[in-house]
Structure formats: C-alpha cells, structure tokens
Chain A
Amino acid sequence: MTVEFWGSAVGYDKTVALFNKTHKDIKIKYTQVPAGSAGGYSKMLNAVKAGNAPCLGQVGYDTLPSFAASGAVEDISQYAGSSKDKFVPWAWQMSSLGGKVLGVPIDLGPEAMFYRADLFKKYKIKPPTTWNEFAAAAEKAHAASPDTYLTTLPQDAYDLGALTWQAGGKWFGTANDRWQVTIDSPATQKVARYWQGLLDKKQVLSEPTFDTAWYKDIQDGHVLSYIGAVWAAPLIEQNAPGAAGKWSVAPLPQWTAGQQASGNRGGSATVVLKGCKNARQATEAALWMSTNADGVTSLIKNTGIYPAATSGQELPAVNQPSKYFGGQNIYQVFKAAAAHTTANWVWGPTMTQVQPDFKDGLKQVGAGQGTIPKLVGSVQANTVKAMKSQGLGVSG
C-alpha cells in the first residue's frame, strides 16, 4: 500500500526513504510542494476540493485551523489519540481543535534571545534577563553609537504572537461551537506598549529580518540581538558567516524576574487530508516520521527541524555544542524554552488575513504611521469581520 505525502520542508525525502527501507507493507510516496499560503497550501486545498488529495500533508500550526475550517482534514483521534504523551503538550494542543485530533506534531519553534556576546562585552551590556533590563540595554546600545540598535521591531503576527504567548495571553479560543477572538487583550497590549515605547525612543530598528540588509547589519554589529525561534540558528549561521564564534543564545527576557516563560514561533504538523482512504495507515506513517529516532535525526540534519516529540529533543543531533555559537550547546536553551511554554495557545482560522494585517501595519508603524496598540485594535476588528464574512461563529 502506498501513502502519498506532500511536504514543503527541504530534505524530507531522506526520512521518507528511511521509512520505505524499514517498512514492507506500507510505502510513502513523497512530493515536494512550495511552502506557504500561496504555494503548497492552496495546492492541497484545491486537491481536496477536486477529490484527488494525497493522504498526508505538512501544515504549519498556524494554518491548521484554516484547513480545519475548510473541512480539509480528517479527524484522526481514534488512531493518534494514544500517542499524546510522546509530544510536548502545547504542540499536541495546536494540532487539535474542538476536542478532535487533527494532526501529528512534527516540529517546534521555541523562542530565545540570540545576541552578539562580543559586542555586549564591548559595550558593557549584561545579557538582560527581564524586559526592563532589555529596555535599559537598548538605551545603552543606541547611546554607544547612533548606528547601533539592540534589536529590530517585531515584524509580523508571528513575532508579536510569540511575545504575547510568553506574556500569558492568547489570541484565539473555541467554546460552544464558536470562535473567540482575543487579539486585543491586556497581554497583547502590554507587549504592544512595550515595543512602541522602545520605538518612540528610537532605540529599536524597523527593518525586515532575514533580509540582505539585516544580515549585513548583524555582521557589521549594527544590530546586536534577535528575539526569535530555534530555526533561526542555521539561517544566521549560513547567511552571516562573518560573525562566526561571536554569537550566544540566552533565554527570553522575562516580565517578572525569576520566571522562565517562553513562547513559540513556527512549527508544523502532519495532517491526514480529507478523502484519504487509508487514514489509519497514514496516521501510523505520520507518527513514525515524528517519533522514530532515525527518522527524526534525519529530519534534524537535513531539514533543520526542532522535534516536537520529547524523545526527539534528547537526540544527539540537537544536543551538541556549536562552533558558530562560540562552543555553546544552544539547544539546551531551546529545550528549556519548549518545556516552559504554556499549553493555552490556539491559532485562528483566518491567519492568512491576520498575518498580512499585522505585517503591513507593523511596517507602517516602523515608518512612523500609527502605533502598535492601535494596530492591535484594528487587527482584532478586521479579524472578527473576516471570520463573520466567512460564515464562522464568532464571539469576541
């Protein structure tokens, strides 16, 4: 029997080959699809509509609810339910909706603070452990030189979402067969006011991350830190080779001293798409890819994922000192971050509208138009409107 699988991460084929080598009665046929909403996701949704979708698809946690709201995924509770304890609790939560298991978690994006240890020392900045200390450090860095910033403004919904998550907030929820939208909540506003404050004092730079200019800035020492997820590590290593050995990773600064809260940015699950005739076998294959030590090791090495399975986080491939990060075992920090992320976050079914709303808005705030607290309010209103126009039940 053959299970078709559409994935977007590069290097998945190697794990699939391992699966096929060790399984006789079931094979996976892997197809690489483009990443993102305009690429692979619409391809999958269209295939479901046309009735010729593959059995398995790789879908980001943020997109899973919109897939569910399009009626495009199978409920796999009966096949996967017993595997719940193998995964980080909040990853399992993000793969479920309305009490149904809709996917098997694959990877995570626990957040931490990447910083230029050499320049922190040079400017006499101690790695901040609280957001208050972080603000003081931002002032100090910018005072050292007008071209130097501690960090960049949050870029989009996912940056702001992870920070809100850390602050104890959540943007969506479900109850009584209705969606709750709480984007404009006290926790989001706390984060929004904090970053607006730094921006008003011109102590953070508004510049797109992971772009040529940003890579240049972090190598030249104009930007000293990055608040982001584990998957940023290989990107920084490959695109800013000039800063080798100069980086370190520390836990996120905290709102209350002594706490260890973190948030998550990114990560995905394997879903069984609607119309799959072999849902049980497909779920088994998905569970194997998420938990088998060899399969996960191959994913870590070839696609650079950070595993959602707790056993995966113990693998040697994600527990080694890194030369680029000054000999530090940065994964210790991310493992702790994943363990200290609360299981209360739910993504909404209209993230393809929430994300551009926040992204466009934050760019404009960075250019001096409007403020982040106001933006949060308008995104909340827009989101409720968009959900209602799609006929979804909304309260909030």
Chain B
Amino acid sequence: MAVTTVSGDQRARSVAEPVKRRTSGGRRTRSALLFLTPFALVFAAMMLAPIGYALYQSFFRVERSGLGLDPPTNVFAGFGNYLAALRDSAFTTSLLRVLLIGVVQVPVMLGLALLLALLLDSRVAVFKRTFRLIYFLPYALPGVIAAIMWSFLYQPGISPFTSALGHLGLGKVNLLSGNLVLASIGNMMTWGYTGFNMLILYSALQAIPREVIEAAVMDGCGGWRVAWHVKIPTVRPALILTAVFSIIGTAQLYNDPQILHQVAPAITSSYTPIMAAQQSAATNNYNYAATQSIILALLTFVMSFGFLKFTQRKEAQT
C-alpha cells in the first residue's frame, strides 16, 4: 500500500510537473511571439518578400517584337539569365575584383584596427578618449561625403598627393588610373572602417578580466607578450565577427567606386557587382539585375559562412 501511495504520489507529481512547465512555457512562448511579431512582419515584408520576388524575377525574361512599341511579354527563361550572367565577362570580372580587394584590404584593415585597439588598451596610452574619437571619426562621416572628399584628393589636377609625389621626383602619378585605382579604393575603405572595427575590438579588450592580465604581468610578460599571448587570443571571437562584417561589406562595395566613376578612367559602369546590377536595372533589364543580385547574395553568403565555419573548425582543433 505504502509503495503504491508513493508511486501514486510520484506519478501525480510526474504528471503535474510537465503540465505546469508546459503552461508557463506556453505563456513564455506566447509573449515571445507577441514581441517578435512586429519584427517578423517587417522582416518578411522588407527582406524576405523582395528576396523571393528577385528570385522569381530571375527566372523570367522580357520579350518584345519589331520596334518594341507594343507592350512586352514575360516568358519563363529557366536558368537562362544565370548562364548569361556567368558568361558575362564584365560581371564575372566585377566579382573577381571585389574578391581581390577583399583578400588584400580586409586583413590590412583588421590588422590596423587591432593594432590601434591594443595601443589604446595599453597601460601607457594617454588621452585615450580623444584618440578613440579621432580613430572613429572617419566612420561617422557619411560614406558618400567621404567618397566625394577622396575623389578631390585623388584627381590629378587638384590632388595634394600627386603634387607631393611630383615634388619627390616621381612624375605625374594618377591615383585613379589602371590598377592604382584598386589600391586607392582600398585606402578609402580602410580609412572609413578601421575606426569602427577598432571600437569593436577595443570593447572586447576592455572585457578581459584585469586579473588575467595582471597574472601575466606577474609571470614576467612585457606589453607585447601580454598582447600576443593573452589579449589577441581572447578577442578572437571579436576579430572573427569584424572579419565577417568586412567580407559582407566588401561584397557590397558601391559608394566609393560609384563616386570615383565620374573622374577615374579605370572605373567602368559595372566595376563592382552592385554597380553591374544597377546598370542592368538602368537599362530596363530588371530580370538580369535580379539574377546578378541573387548571384552576389549567394556568393556573399558562401564567403561569410564559409569563413565562419573555417574559423570554428580551427578553433575546435586547437
């Protein structure tokens, strides 16, 4: 009897408990849903729906006849637009171009940002707030304004760099010509975003418990060794985060080359993938523009997630 009572008791409890959990859990889910709905609606309307529509559009093309004065018709094109995009050398070159800029510029910029963050974080740094603000200032400037400023600084006729290089006996260097313009664009991006990345890395550095650093110092570490053995490994997640942001940012490169386009001989109308898609939309070929956008989005997704997976696997190994 006693046994059954206990077991009955247990049964009662074991039944009652999940029920209780379910109701409180249900309430939590419901309130969570309530809070998430506005975001989910806006996200669906502003992000998912346009992406879906672009995907849909990319499988069609417009047909006209004769002079084209009669209304055009939409016909299903299958993967026709995708094949055309992959055969379009101007478009594939633009993809390779941002890849090249990314491979060179992102490490340079993040290295610089890390260096600045470490300098700000070091014990001997003075006027920390002032310098933090100075490093961050370029990011606070609207991108287009900054690009216009740089276009003045680069134009041969009025550039202080060109005249300075001229005085050094290097002749008339045109920073907007040939492959120099790639470096010029890289410089604009580095100038604009180093401060932003520095701030993220600096916050991560601030979060390192001071005891850890003190312990390292007690063990005889100098400033550089603390940085190398303690600080950098600890801010690794922040570094990965900034790298992913930068990869996405580079793939979406538009402002800088678009503004320089007016004055730089080497920049064509489809210099970067977004410029190429814009150009297609301007020529009224929305289906092709949608295709180019989808390809760019896919590549950006693969690159940023690929990088994340790669670094995670490395982390697991160590």
Interface residues of A (CB under 8 A from B): 37-38, 42, 45, 66, 68-71, 97-98, 100, 174, 177-179, 206-208, 211-213, 216-217, 349-350, 352-353, 356, 359-360, 363-364, 366-367, 386, 389-393
A212-B155 in contact given A71-B70, A390-B64 (Cβ < 8 Å): yes
Nearest chain-B residue to A100 (Cβ)? B69
A213–B263 touching, CB < 8 Å: yes
CB distance from B276 to the nearest CB of A (A): 11
Interface residues of B (CB under 8 A from A): 62-72, 152, 155-158, 174, 177-178, 262-266, 268-269, 278-279, 281-285
A391-B155 in contact given A70-B72, A352-B284 (Cβ < 8 Å): no
Contacts of A359 in B (CB 8 A): 269
Nearest chain-B residue to A39 (Cβ)? B282
CB distance from A352 to the nearest CB of B (A): 4
B67–A179 touching, CB < 8 Å: yes
A211-B262 in contact given A42-B281, A353-B283 (Cβ < 8 Å): yes
Q: Within the assembled complex, what's the spacing in Å between the Cα atoms of A367 and B176?
A: 10
Most buried by B among A207, A208, A359, A391: A391
A69–B69 touching, CB < 8 Å: yes
CB distance from A99 to the nearest CB of B (A): 10
A71-B157 in contact given A174-B67, A386-B283, A391-B65 (Cβ < 8 Å): no
B265–A206 touching, CB < 8 Å: yes
A393-B66 in contact given A70-B72, A216-B158, A350-B283 (Cβ < 8 Å): yes
B157–A207 touching, CB < 8 Å: yes
A42-B67 in contact given A71-B72, A213-B157, A217-B157 (Cβ < 8 Å): no
Contacts of A364 in B (CB 8 A): 265-266
B263–A42 touching, CB < 8 Å: no
Interface contacts beyond A211-B263, A391-B63: sample of 7 additional A-B pairs, CB < 8 Å, sorted by A: A97-B67, A217-B157, A360-B268, A363-B265, A367-B177, A390-B284, A391-B64
Q: Within the assembled complex, what's the spacing in Å between the Cα atoms of A393 and B65?
A: 6
B284–A66 touching, CB < 8 Å: yes
A177–B282 touching, CB < 8 Å: no
A68–B263 touching, CB < 8 Å: no
A390–B67 touching, CB < 8 Å: no
Instruction: Tell which of A206, A356, A360, A390 touches B68, judged by Cβ atoms closer than 8 Å.
Output: A390
Contacts of B68 in A (CB 8 A): 68-71, 349, 390-392
CB distance from B302 to the nearest CB of A (A): 28
Nearest chain-B residue to A386 (Cβ)? B283
Q: Within the assembled complex, what's the spacing in Å between the Cα atoms of A245 and B111?
A: 55
CB distance from B97 to the nearest CB of A (A): 14
